[in-house]
Amino acid sequence: MNLETYYEYCLSKKGVTEHFPFDEDTLVFKVGGKMFALSSLSQWEKGNPSVNLKCDPEYAQELRAQYDAIQPGFHMSKVHWNTIALNEGLSDQFLEELIDHSYELVFKSLTKKLQTEIQELEN
């Protein structure tokens, strides 16, 4: 997956906004004001792209055991976040599934009111 595809896929989800809350390099995608994906733009430029995605703790352990490209979240809670190396053979479809999982976890953690507001948004 290239940066443009990653960017467009994340932004295609309902209620998603992009931010640079930490520095000018770390692109963060949020839903309802909560992070679900982040990535270093300079690492994409260097040919070493990776993304941090939220993950159910048990599923995170399974993924890490199964794929070398999936590691505990870099600079994140190792329980709830994975870092996925994108140049290590994972398919775009699988990455989209992991992004979907992260988005859904965060979306479900929002208040019912906020969930309803986001669901009513136009795409």
- Which CATH number covers residue 68? 3.90.1150.30
The predicted structure's pLDDT at residue 83: 97
Domain presence at residue 118: no
The answer to whether position 55 is within a domain reads yes
pLDDT of the residue at 105: 97
Tokens, residue 11: 């932004």
pLDDT of 121 reads 81
Q: How many domains does the chain have?
A: 1
What is the full per-residue pLDDT of the chain (123 aa) written as tens digits?
A: 999 999 999 999 999 999 999 999 999 999 999 999 999 999 999 999 999 999 999 999 999 999 999 999 988 889 999 999 998 999 999 999 999 999 999 999 999 999 999 999 865
Residue 25 placed within a domain: yes
CA distances from 80 to 18, 55, 105, 116 (A): 21, 5, 10, 25
Side-by-side strand order, sheet with 70-72: 16-19, 26-31, 34-40, 50-54, 81-85, 70-72
